[in-house]
Amino acid sequence: MRLLSFFISLFFLTGTAMADDWITKKSPHSVEQTVAQFTKAAEGAGAKVFAVVDHQKGAKSVDAELAPATLVIFGNPKIGTPVMQGNIRAALDLPLRVLVFEENGETTIGYLKPQELKARYNVTGADPVFEKMTGALNKLTDAAIQ
């Protein structure tokens, strides 16, 4: 019984911690329009959009239903390279990713806090880069929901 209680507590603590790792913002637009505005802002800021993954379309391809959810993978080597120089394993989470999704009839855009990336890979000596990353993500996601 104690073991079961432990796992239940761990589940709820992990769920809370995971929510705290993210920055999310509500968008007044559809998922499609929010993605379009985000990619335009990212490219306008000098980032490269590497991929746009429409998870709902993927689900439909296997005759399954899924609410609209699109992952945008983007980045700028000027920002990502110093992080990977600090720890090459950070390349698993780079380029950056933003998820735009519909939940309970609302569109949300969200991303992992850059400080979580820094902590996950114990990157030292790149604080200005993480500050720049934080500012860029905030600015780009704000542009997406305007």
Mean of the per-residue pLDDT values for the chain? 89
- So what's the pLDDT on residue 129? 95
15-25 pLDDT, tens digit each: 334 468 999 99
| Distance (Å, whole) CA 36 – CA 64 | 25
43-55 pLDDT, tens digit each: 999 999 999 999 9
HSE (CB half, 13 Å, CA atoms) of 56? 12
Query: Partners of 23 in the beta sheet?
Result: 111
| Residue whose C-alpha is closest to residue 69's, from 16, 117, 126, 109 | 109
Give the fold, CATH level 3, of 22-144.
TATA-Binding Protein (3.30.310)
